[in-house]
Amino acid sequence: MAGRLKITLVKSPIGYAWDQRDTVRALGLRKMWHSVVKADTPDIRGMIRKVQHLVRVEPLPESPEGGQDA
């Protein structure tokens, strides 16, 4: 797992357990439809699995030869 993931908050964590709200916050998601890009690591995958009912995850293509995305 060396790629990147785009994680979007699609459902509010209000009304869910405090640990799920904390996980959403730890992923860097602040409000509805906010997206963040994270490295595809086992740690991030575990966090996503915990709140999979609240987020949408999309894999991003590898950037060419270490260059920046346009």
Give the domains, in start order, of the chain with CATH numbers. Answer: 4-62 (3.30.1390.20)
pTM of the model: 0.84
Does 70 score more than 50 pLDDT? no
Average pLDDT of the chain is 91
Pairwise CA distance, residues 24 & 4, whole Å: 18
pLDDT single digits (tens) 8-61: 999 999 999 999 999 999 999 999 999 999 999 999 999 999 999 999 999 998
The distance in angstroms from the start CA to the end CA of the chain is: 23
Pairwise CA distance, residues 63 & 61, whole Å: 6
pLDDT at 62: 77
Q: Which two tokens stand for residue 26?
A: 């730890």
Of 56, 55, 58, 57, which is closest to residue 12 (Cα–Cα)?
Answer: 55
